Amino acid sequence: MCPAGWRLLAMLALVLVLMVWYSISREDRYIELFYFPIPEKKEPCLQGEAERKASRIFGNYSQDQPVFLQLKDYFWVKTPSVYELPYGTKGSGRFRLAQALAGLDCSSPCDSLKCRRCVVVGNGSRLRNSSLGDTIDKYDVVIRLNNAPVAGYEGDVGSKTTMRLFYPESAHFDPKVENNPDTLLVLVAFKAMDFHWIETILSDKRRVRKGFWKQPPLIWDVNPKQIRILNPFFMEITADKLLSLPMQQPRRIKQKPTTGLLAITLALHLCDLVHIAGFGYPDAYNKKQTIHYYEQITLKSMAGSGHNVSQEALAIKRMLEIGAVKNLTYF
């Protein structure tokens, strides 16, 4: 081969090497941003670290906001809510809410913790065969969502539950099976009927059947000391700051954050270190991939839910990019 031919071959080889290097570096960067390998030791916990990083997204939101609604704040609050549910307590349901709050505590298991290491466990299929159970159980605070089961899945999702966020339609019919004796069951109210439901449960009154898109449990055996009602402030800033949703929406348009994204916002308010696991949906073209680790429903079930999963994915990626949260599973 002539010298010119060798030079051309050498240049092509160099270009190929540079392309491979660039591809690998980009992949490493992707893994660094969106995948956090299981740590062998507890990561150092710096007080206020999550708040400082989250402020880049939420702005000057206040950690002084109460996590749970309580009767004294409800009646004597200096700045009454300007929004109706799910973003505030203005309007209908106020009497039912007052009745429900009269029987509830507002303390948090995090109050006594010096530094709070938290993990929000999503319900995604990425948890299946993840073997993350032991890792999840080592966190100070484990937040779970809706009726996602623990029994039978401990190896992948753990067995510890500090808080479980739910709304009436997603309440597990036998909460003692899937939770610890000291688990806080935190009601996320989307509508006034949700206050009505929890009030009838606490007062053991005749159960409400109408007004729900899915029948909530009519019998719900829970100790009232374990129940809390989440401050709608967290739903407000999740919708506003993460998803840019309007606070006032026409009734026919009912866009709202998922419980999972809401739980991450709560954790960033409550905790010093926030990790997530089991978040992310399949690609839209993947019609057969299940969306939960515990059941066989697909992305089709999200149609008409009012959730914009693509927009939520972008919000989570943004939080991962700035280091506000880290991921135990790939995203």
Whether residue 21 lies inside any domain: the answer is no
Q: State how far the Cα of 282 lies from the Cα of 297, in Å rounded to an integer.
A: 12
Domain of 252 in residue numbering reads as: 36-327
Structure tokens given for 227: 């129940």
Q: Does 112 have pLDDT greater than 90?
A: no
Is 135 a member of any domain?
yes
Task: Residue 211: name the closest of 198, 199, 194 by CA.
Answer: 194
pLDDT at 268: 93
From 38-52, 161-175, 186-200, 308-322, the region with the lowest mean pLDDT:
38-52
The token pair that represents 31 in the structure block: 């893994």
31: confidence class by pLDDT, cuts 50, 70, 90:
very low
CA distances from 233 to 20, 67, 196, 239, 244 (A): 48, 9, 20, 10, 15
Residues of the chain with pLDDT > 90, as a percent, come to 43
In whole angstroms, give the CA distance from residue 64 to residue 294: 36
- Lay out the sheet containing 227-229: strands in order across: 227-229, 184-187, 163-166, 141-145, 117-121, 273-277, 326-327
Q: Specify the 3-state DSSP secondary structure of 140.
A: coil
Q: What is the pLDDT of residues 267-319, one digit of tens each?
A: 999 999 999 999 987 766 666 778 789 888 776 666 666 668 889 999 999 99
Collapsed DSSP state (helix, strand, coil) of residue 322: coil
Distance CA 181, CA 128 (A): 25
Residue 45, domain member (yes or no): yes
Residue 313 lies in a domain: yes
13 part of a folded domain: no
Predicted confidence (pLDDT) per residue in 48-104, tens digit: 888 888 888 888 766 567 899 888 766 655 566 788 889 988 876 677 787 778 778
Enter the pTM of the model.
Answer: 0.84
CATH code at position 134: 3.90.1480.20
CA 130 from chain centre, in angstroms, equals 19
Name the residue among 317, 312, 230 with its Cα closest to residue 270. Answer: 230
163: part of which helix (H) or strand (E)? strand 163-166
* The pLDDT value given to residue 26: 41
- Judge whether 24 lies within some domain: no
Cα gap 165→64, rounded to integer Å: 21
Establish if 5 belongs to a structural domain.
no
Residue 39 has pLDDT above 60, yes or no: no
Q: Contacts for 42-46 with beta carbons within 8 Å, 24 or more apart?
A: 42/117, 42/138, 43/117, 43/273, 45/115, 45/116, 45/117, 45/272, 45/273, 46/115, 46/272, 46/273
pLDDT averaged over the chain?
82
Residue 171 domain flag: yes
Backbone dihedral angles phi then psi of residue 55, each to the nearest 5 degrees: -65, -20
pLDDT at 305: 64
How many domains would you assign to the chain? 1
**Cα–Cα distances in Å, from 322 out to 24, 52, 236?**
22, 11, 22
pLDDT band (50, 70, 90) for residue 234: very high
Classify 93 in phi/psi space as left (phi over 0), alpha (psi -120 to 50) or beta.
left
